[in-house]
Chains A and B, each alone.
Chain A
C-alpha cells in the first residue's frame, strides 16, 4: 500500500566512500576550528595545565637543585594527566551538554550526519588538544626543569596520556547527557578539580593523608597518572601496569553505559 502512495523517485544515491571520509574529516576540522576560536576553551584547557606545571613543576622544585629534575619529571606526568582530562571533560562533556540542551544537536540529527561522525569529531579534537598540551609541557620541562629522557620515553608518555584521555571523553559524554547547558561548566569543574587533587595530580599522592591514598584508587585519574609515572620511571613500588589499564577500561565502559542511559532517557524529552 505504501508503495502506491509515494512517488517512484529513485532512492538517493549512497554516499561514496571518499565522501564519507571527507565528511569525517570536515566534522573534525570544524570541531577543532570551533574550539580553538572559543577563548575560554583554549585558555582553560591549554593555559591552566601549562601555568600549573610552571608553578608546581618548575618554580617550586627549583629551590632544591638535587631533585629538581625529578620533581619536574614527576609533575610532567601528573600535570599532563590534569591537562588531557580537562580537554576531554570540557571538549566532550560541556560541549555536548550545550549543543544538546540548546537544540543544535537536534539540527544535526535531523540531517543525514552519522552520529559517529559527531562523536569522532569531538574525540579527534580532544586528541589534538591533548597532544599540543603535552608537547608544550615537554618543551617547558626540557627547557626550564632539566628534564632529560630519551625521545622514545617522551613519545610513550604522550601516547599513554593521549590514549588515556578516552575514558575521560566517555565520562564527559555521560556528563553531557545529564547536565543542563548552563550548569555543565560548573558541574564539570566541581567534579574535575577535587577528583584531580584526590588522585594526586597536584601534590604527589604519598604526601597526602592515608585516607586520600585509599580513596584515590577508585578515581580514574589515579590510574592514568600511575601509567604515566610508570612510563617515565617515577613509580617506586610499581603495581602491574595491566591493573591500571583494566581499571581504565572498566571506567570507560561504566561511563559509556551511563551515557547510553542518558541518551535513552533523553529521547523522550529533547530528542538530542
Chain B
C-alpha cells in the first residue's frame, strides 16, 4: 500500500492565505558552541500545514535549529516560539513529533515495544496498527531493533515520531545514508503525512529531496538563511547552465564576461558556470569570432546548489565590505 502511494500525485494543498498562520517562529536566534557559530540572527516561520525544507550542507546549523525548536537546546540570544509558547512548556511537547539523528537505539527491544512505549507518552496517540501502517513497519513489528537494516531502522524512528499523532513534525535528515529505494519509500511515507494535514519541518542536504517534498525551501549555510522560495524558485536559482567551448580568449578575459559565475580550463577548452546561457554565449561570440566546439548543458544539481550557497556568501561579503 505504501509503495502505491509513491506513485500518487502530490495532494492538492490549500491556497496560500494572504498572511499564513505560523505554528513555529524564531526571532534573531543565535547559538555558538565555543568558537563555532551554529546559528546567526536566524529568523524562521513555519506555516500551518506546509512542508518546509531546510536545505543546507553539513554543519549549516540545521540540526541545532531543530533542537531549539524542540526545546532541547537553549539559544544564546533570540527567542523560539512553538504554537505560541516556549517549547519547554508542558502543553507544547505532546503536539510535536521528532525524528532525530541518533547513534544507537536500544537494540534488544522489538519494534512493537518501542512504538508501544512512545505511544504511551502522548495523550492521544494513533492506534498502534495505524502507526505501523503509516511508517511501513507492519511486517517487522516483532523483530528486535538491532536486527533491522538501515532503511528499516529509519522507518521505526519515523514511526516513533508520528505515533503520538503530533500536529508539527520535525524530520532531521530522515533519508541520510539510505539507498535509493529506501529513500523513495521514506518519501512516500512523508507524503502520506502531508496528505493528513500535518505541518512538517524537514532538514536535508539533498536538493532533489527538498524538491520532491517541500512547499517551501529555506537554504541554510553557516547558520544563516541564504535563500528562500518555492522549489521551482530555488531550482531556478540553483539550476545553472554549463558552457563548454574553445576560444582564443584568455581564461581571465572569459571570467570578466558578465554572468559568468566561474570558469576553468579543461584540457583545450573552457568550462563556464552560468545562471543563464544565452547572454553569455552572445557575448562570447561577439568577443571571439573563432569560438568553437560550443556546448551548453544543465549543471549538476548538487554542484549548482553549492554554487548557490557560495554566491550568496560572496554577495553578502561584498555587500558588507
Q: Which residues of A contact B (CB under 8 A)?
A: 2-3, 5-7, 9, 11-15, 19, 22-23, 26-27, 30, 33-34, 37-38, 98-99, 101-104, 106-107, 109-113, 267-269, 271
B75-96 to A contact mask, C-beta < 8 Å, 1/0: 0000001011100001101111
Q: Does B103 contact A (CB under 8 A)?
A: yes
Asked whether B95 lies within 8 Å of A22 as measured between CB atoms, the reply is: no
Query: Are B23 and A6 closer than 8 Å at their CB atoms?
Result: yes
Interface 9-residue window, one of B116-124, B255-263, B310-318: B116-124
Kindly list chain A residues whose C-beta atoms are within 8 Å of the C-beta of B164.
111-112
CB of B141 closer than 8 Å to a CB of A: no
Report which residue of B74, B91, B120 has the largest number of chain A beta carbons within 10 angstroms of its beta carbon. B120
Interface residues, chain B, with chain A CB atoms under 8 Å away: 21-23, 25, 33, 48, 67, 70, 72-74, 81, 83-85, 90-91, 93-98, 100-106, 108-109, 113, 116-118, 120-124, 144, 157, 160, 164, 167, 170
Contact A113 B102 (CB under 8 A): no
* Nearest residue, chain A, Cβ from B25: A5
**In the complex the two chains form, what is the Cα distance from A23 to B85 in whole Å?**
25
The reply to whether B121 and A23 contact each other, CB–CB distance below 8 Å, is yes
Q: Which of B48, B101, B116 contacts A103 (CB 8 A)?
A: B101
Query: Within 8 Å CB of B21, what residues of A?
Result: 5-7
Q: Is B121's CB under 8 angstroms from A111's CB?
A: yes
Partner of B113 from the list A5, A6, A30, A107 (CB cut-off 8 Å) is A30
Of B98, B105, B123, the contact of A12 (CB 8 Å cutoff): B123
A111 near B122: Cβ-Cβ < 8 Å: yes
Q: Which of A22, A30, A106 lies in contact with B72, CB distance below 8 A?
A: A106
Chain B contacts of A11 at CB under 8 A?
91
Is B84's CB under 8 angstroms from A110's CB? no
Q: Is the CB of B104 within 8 A of A104?
A: yes
CB-based contact A5/B84 at 8 Å: yes
Asked if residues B120 and A26 are in contact (CB atoms below 8 Å), the reply is yes
* CB-based nearest B residue for A25: B120
In the complex, the chain A residue whose C-beta lies closest to that of B119 is: A26
On chain A, the residues within 8 Å of B118 by CB distance are 111, 113
Closest residue of chain B to A110 (Cβ to Cβ) is B98
Tell me the smallest distance from the CB of B73 to a CB of chain A, in Å: 5
Contact B106 A6 (CB under 8 A): no
B116: chain A residues at CB < 8 Å are 26, 30
Asked if B123 contacts A15 (CB within 8 A), the reply is yes
Knowing A12-B95, A112-B121, A112-B122, say if A107 contacts B84 (CB, 8 Å).
Answer: no
Complex: how many Å from CA A46 to CA B103? Answer: 28
Given contacts A6-B22, A271-B67, A271-B72, contact A104 B120 (CB under 8 A): no
Check A38 against B100 for contact (C-beta < 8 Å).
no
Whole-angstrom CA separation of A271 from B109 in the bound complex:
24
Q: Which of B23, B90, B109, B160 contacts A107 (CB 8 A)?
A: B160
Q: A6-B21, A112-B93, A112-B164 are in contact. Are A33 and B113 (CB under 8 A)?
A: yes
* Beta-carbon contact of B123 and A14 below 8 Å: yes
Contact assessment for B109 and A30 in the assembled complex, using a CB-CB cutoff below 8 Å = yes
Shortest Cβ distance from A132 into chain B, in angstroms? 18
Complex: A267 Cα to B121 Cα, angstroms: 22
Contacts of A102 in B (CB 8 A): 102-104
Shortest B69–chain A CB gap in Å is 10
A-B contact pairs, 24 of them (CB 8 A): A2-B85, A3-B84, A6-B21, A6-B22, A12-B95, A12-B123, A14-B123, A33-B109, A34-B109, A37-B108, A37-B109, A99-B106, A102-B102, A103-B103, A104-B103, A107-B157, A107-B160, A111-B121, A111-B160, A111-B164, A112-B93, A113-B121, A268-B33, A271-B72
CA distance A33 to B81 in the complex (A): 38
Which A residues are CB-close (under 8 A) to B94? Answer: 12, 112
**Residues in B neighbouring A38, C-beta threshold 8 A:** 108
List chain A residues, Cβ under 8 A from B73: 267-268, 271
